[in-house]
Amino acid sequence: MKVVLARPAGMALRAYVRYVQKMEQDVRPAIREHSRIVTALENLATSIADGTEVIIPDWPRPARMTYLHPFKVFYERQPDCLFVIRLRHYAQRPIER
């Protein structure tokens, strides 16, 4: 099953990878972090377990939320993919209810 990132989720992942690269002053740790997160999302897509159901204010349907350090992952399962709505860093204010 494939993983599809909504634009806000893709932007959050890119920002995090750039931050890691800047802090480490090396591209290799950033590449490792990107690979780790993508692999974990792929594993979530094939998993039968689901996260907690939450309401996101600007999303029309209930979504699921799970943790993937350093993010909260907001997603929904669609017939052919795992659609990642948002990646929110733990330090950010919660958006779910």
For the domain bounded by 2-89, which CATH number is listed?
3.30.2310.20
**Choice between 26 and 5, residue whose per-residue pLDDT is larger:** 5
54 neighbors 64 (Cβ within 8 angstroms):
yes
d(CA 12, CA 8): 6
Q: Is the pLDDT of residue 97 over 90?
A: no
d(CA 57, CA 75): 14
Dump pLDDT digits (tens) for 15-56: 999 999 998 898 999 999 999 999 999 999 999 889 999 999
d(CA 84, CA 10): 9
pLDDT range class, residue 58, cuts 50, 70, 90: confident
- The whole-number pLDDT of residue 38 equals 95
d(CA 26, CA 30): 7
Q: Tell me the CA distances in angstroms from 47 to 41, 83, 88, 97, one per residue in order.
A: 10, 14, 21, 24
Q: What are the sequence ranges of the domains in the chain?
A: 2-89
- The whole-number pLDDT of residue 80 equals 92
